[in-house]
Amino acid sequence: MFKEIFKNLNGGWMELNLNEEAKKFPEINFSDPVECGIWLQKLHKNYGIDYSYGGFLENRSFIWKDHYNIKEALFIHEGTDFNVSSGTEVFLFEEGEVVEIMRDTEMHGGWGNAVVFWISKIEKYVIYAHMDKDLFVSLNDKYSKGSKVGIVGGPDQNGHYFPHLHLQFMDKDFASKYKRFFDVGGYSAKNSEMLSHLYDPMNFLK
Ligand SMILES: [Zn+2]
């Protein structure tokens, strides 16, 4: 699965609802990215898988109950997460143009290092987020399908999260509500109108 994004991964995948899985482990501090990462690796082992994915429009009110997002109750996850090790290489699934490069250095649950592509074939903006600082693409350049984008970052690079790639698909209306992609948060409130301008990444990936 997901050979277009993760050319070098060969193990088994499974879809997981992290919020539901987290409820089974009330003793864990999920807001600690190292603790959360170790928990996730154990979870993969228990399920007999190598990697997991999921989370589009998932309500993460349990796993992030102690997180900075709680003040605004922004718990609906806007993309799909691919839970793989830091250092994993990430590739472009379709021809695209880089319209924004985000360096979110605050490290309090931000984007870390992220790239936003305009994918004209499907008329969507796509965010590749939580990567390492070493990116392999440049602003305003066009890239063919299969181009190397970056590598999955660790907590010190990715905005202080467990290692994962966050992909988020947005239409033009979603983007037009923001001055810049940097202001997109990755989480929305439950009844946000913005949710109707998001698209399930699974509809575009193999
Ligand atoms: Zn995510």
Q: How far is the CA of 39 from the centre of ligand 1 (A)?
A: 17
CA of 144 to the centre of ligand 1 (A): 25
Encode pLDDT of 48-57 as tens digits. 999 999 999 9
83 by Cβ neighbours in 10 Å (0-12 / 13-18 / 19+) ranks as buried
Q: Cα of 162 to ligand 1 centre, how many Å? A: 10
Share of the chain above pLDDT 70, in %: 96
What is the spatial distance between Cα 6 and Cα 199, in angstroms, rounded to a whole number? 20
Domains detected in the chain: 13-203 (2.70.70.10)
User: 166: CA distance to ligand 1 center in Å?
Assistant: 4
* Entry field: residues in the chain: 206
Measured in whole angstroms, the distance separating CA 193 from the mean position of its chain's CA atoms is: 21
Quote the tokens at residue 106: 């605050």
Residue 129 Cα to ligand 1 midpoint, Å, equals 8
| Residue 139 alpha carbon to ligand 1 centre in Å | 23
Q: Tens digit of pLDDT per residue, the chain (206 long)?
A: 999 999 999 999 999 999 999 999 999 999 899 999 999 999 999 999 999 999 999 999 898 887 765 667 788 999 999 999 999 999 999 999 999 999 987 766 789 999 999 999 999 999 999 999 999 999 999 999 999 999 999 999 998 899 999 999 999 999 898 888 888 888 888 888 999 999 999 999 98
Full-model pTM: 0.95
Mind listing the pLDDT tens digit for each residue in 74-94? 889 999 999 999 999 999 999
Q: Encode pLDDT of 148-168 as tens digits.
A: 999 999 999 998 899 999 999
Q: What pLDDT score does 184 carry?
A: 87
176: CA distance to ligand 1 center in Å?
Answer: 21
pLDDT at res. 39:
97
